[in-house]
Structure 1
Amino acid sequence: MTSILITGGHSGIGLAAARALAASEIDLVLAGRSIERMHPVAAELHAKHGVAATMLTLDTSSLASVRAAAAQFRTMLDSGEISSLDAIICNAGGRFDGDISYSTDGYETTFATNCLGHFLLVELLFPNLSESGRVVYTASGTHDPDSMDGRMVGAAVEPDAVALANNGKNGGKALSTGRRYSTSKLCTVMYAYELDRRLRKADSSISSIAFDPGSVPETGFLRDMPEPVRWIAGSAAMKWVSKRIGVTTSDMGFSGASLAAIATDADYAGASGKYFQANDGTLSAVRSARMSYDESRARKLWDDSKQLVHLTADEEPVQLR
């Protein structure tokens, strides 16, 4: 039986993907901060589709939480509670409006949550992935400063892990909420590409794929915005305007089903190193931001991230060095 671990699989696009995966009789490990919020989703998936839906406490903003979750996952795998690990879907994340804040590790919250937590999770669980497993990263079109998506949110800045983790400290000027978010998604795409390069160098059959679900107003992305703003963003008129001005648009069902397909379907078995985008009912491989293909920047981002998460020699898989 195929098993997939998905972070943030109990809400938004992650939930839509989890439902699509369960409908295909795939066992799931739902990883998130709240067991209380995941429990009804796990019960629903099991009742409707008969799949195993295991819950795993995981806060991607906390390195200690990621390490504890990885250890718990390995215990469940060894005991047979989980049959296999065929894909890791790095889907959880968020945009944190308001004043800049920091994680329990002292890193800027957006970068810690959207980037460092998933980076560490993949490193720790990589040895448990099946021979032809997949790692799928939920990115965003906002990562591209040349796109309308990127211009509307705030153009991404240099993907410097150390600078991003310490943004706003020691009297430095904090990036805007939008730029923190878009830059975290640029780093996400670059992680996916750098992982692919390392996998190919190691002659591995594991795939690493980036996915842009498009702008989906029904998600929790706008939950901290005023109610009128959320209503306008989800209106038919705004969707029409968004399409006309070049914003990448989608809906919850299609984006969730697309994420599920990328993680499992045979059609994407040879898609490692690619960036897929859901746009107005179509899923296709497209070009990502120009900077995302910069290999020297990606290597530095990867190596600096290893230092920031305090990755030990014992934790780092040989294939990814």
Structure 2
Amino acid sequence: MMSTMKWTSLGLLLCLSVTGWSPKAASAFVTKKHATHPQRSTISPTSIRSSGVVHRELFSSSNNNDMNDDEGGSYSSRRQVLRQATAVAGSTLASWWLWGSEPGTAAAAAADTTKKRICVTGCTSGIGLDAATRLAAQGHELLLAGRTTSKAQAAAARILETVPNANIGLAFECNLASLSSIQKFASQIQQLSSSSSSSSQPFAIDVLCLNAGLSRDAAAKDIVRTTDGFELTVGTNHLGHFYLNQLLLPMMNKNTGRIVVTASGVHDPESPGGNQGETATLGDLKGLEQRNFEMVDGGPFSADKAYKDSKLCNVLFTRELQRRLTASGSGITTSCFSPGLILESGFFRNQNPLFVKAFTVGVKVAGVGETSHWGGGALEYVATSPQVANQGGTYFLAPPGSSKYGDAAYGREFKVAQVSKEAQDDSKAKRLWELSETLVAGSSA
């Protein structure tokens, strides 16, 4: 017999259908056996242990006017916004209902007590800040990358408030929308390497967490570009991290290093979040053949699709990077993961306010959202857990609402999952790498 909660959830699905969730969408979700869901005082670099105030901000473009459309929404009507919100919330709820609410049986992950040097982008808010705080509490050394140095230092101050003895080796600017800023950050780490290396203990980055990201209002029509002329979302979420990885890879621990990429379930057009609105597809990658591209597939600009495409790029990048590392004989492994739907991170601040309110209500009623603390733990797990060692090229995902199990979900509900069909295209992954390499090389020269 179905539980009371499941009957309640089914009733809410029917309500969502009446208020705007189409029967076609409902049918698509209910016929899925196993649906999945995606998804966030100044301190000097030399005296990073000073205290200060942290301002939680999304790692994104500084042009907030460009990142927010007219108040009240850019959609044609309030009803359209509500339909869009209930559709996404409904799909998330359907996913939770089909997954079920019973916990898995795998044991919780054992902690790795080895102290590591870990670089984290997107550390100023959301799961990045929570992950960095968790990692600091475990005694790992942190290299913090923020959109500005002041934001990175403020994040360091916040971490030190919670973990007074945190080992923060660097807190510096790394604006992923600027290749020159990325170069400066890599140079800072190179200087740190030169000053701290010794013959007995050479400098090496043990874990690189490529976590930062941004998402514009899905209804935005204007194209915002990075300082190098790339479309902002793909330029930041994919190309910025691609370039940072290129610069830091020579400094990685060649034997046991890990590279972790924060992706999203929306990379998959068959996932509940991924099949709402325009779906992710990179086509033949024609757009990336020129620097001033609008979309990766060469089509007209869509803010909604650009974000989903960027997450598909993240997954393809992870898989191709692992292929190349393995071919070279390197012991470095790469993984990506979806942290789930985290409303409290501020990640939705650039979305239509009416959409966010309606969506938040639906998610809270369904109980399918995750906490920022849990999402940070998911990042920490993929970055440091012995269970993830030697699982290169993998993608981790949990059923919606898994944060209710706390840290016990890591390695149990939160585990290796299958990526989308397009993300399994190795030839496309290779081509994406080659085009990305050309773009960042031409812009950073």
Does TM-score exceed 0.5, indicating one fold? yes
C-alpha displacement at 1:48, in angstroms?
3.5
C-alpha displacement at 1:94, in angstroms?
0.6
C-alpha displacement at 1:34, in angstroms?
2.1
Partner of 2:374: 254
C-alpha separation in 1, matches of 2:172 and 2:285: 27
Partner of 1:73: 189
Classify the secondary structure of the residue corresponding to 1:220. coil
C-alpha separation in 2, matches of 1:242 and 1:47: 31
Partner of 1:318: none
Deviations 1:248-280 (A, max 9, x none): x42211111010111011111122111001332
Partner of 1:52: 167
C-alpha displacement at 1:173, in angstroms?
5.5
Give me the TM-score of the superposition, normalised by structure 1.
Answer: 0.88
Residue 289 (str. 1) matches residue 420 (str. 2): yes
C-alpha separation in 1, matches of 2:283 and 2:206: 29
C-alpha separation in 1, matches of 2:148 and 2:225: 20
Classify the secondary structure of the residue corresponding to 1:310. helix
4+ aligned runs moved over 6 Å, structure 1:
none
Task: Provide the aligned length of Structure 1 versus Structure 2.
Answer: 305
Partner of 1:111: 234
C-alpha displacement at 1:83, in angstroms?
5.5
Partner of 2:256: 132
1:89 is matched with which residue: 209, 231, 234?
Answer: 209
Higher relative contact order (CA 8 A, sep 6+): 2
Q: How does 1:1-321 map to 2 (within 5 A)?
A: 1-49=115-163, 50-53=165-168, 54-80=170-196, 84-97=204-217, 98=220, 99-130=222-253, 131-158=255-282, 163-164=287-288, 166-168=292-294, 174-235=300-361, 237-241=362-366, 243=368, 249-279=369-399, 280-281=401-402, 282-310=413-441
Larger Rg: 2
Deviations 1:210-266 (A, max 9, x none): 11111111122210234443333333x4244485xxxxx422111110101110111
Unaligned runs of 5+ in 1: 244-248, 316-321
Deviates more, 1:225-234 or 1:191-200: 225-234
Give me the TM-score of the superposition, normalised by structure 2.
Answer: 0.64
Taking structure 1 as reference, are residues 106 and 270 closer, same or farther at Cα in structure 2, changes over 3 Å only?
A: same
Deviations 1:54-75 (A, max 9, x none): 2021111111111121112111
Classify the secondary structure of the residue corresponding to 1:223. coil
Contact 1:217 1:233 in 2 (8 A): no
Taking structure 1 as reference, are residues 204 and 106 closer, same or farther at Cα in structure 2, changes over 3 Å only?
A: same
Q: Over aligned residues, Cα RMSD in angstroms?
A: 2.3
C-alpha separation in 2, matches of 1:44 and 1:102: 31
C-alpha displacement at 1:207, in angstroms?
0.7
C-alpha separation in 2, matches of 1:151 and 1:242: 20
Deviates more, 1:44-53 or 1:269-278: 44-53
C-alpha separation in 2, matches of 1:89 and 1:286: 19
Classify the secondary structure of the residue corresponding to 1:150. coil
| Identity, % of aligned positions | 34
C-alpha displacement at 1:146, in angstroms?
1.4
Deviates more, 1:49-58 or 1:253-262: 49-58
C-alpha separation in 2, matches of 1:260 and 1:159: 33
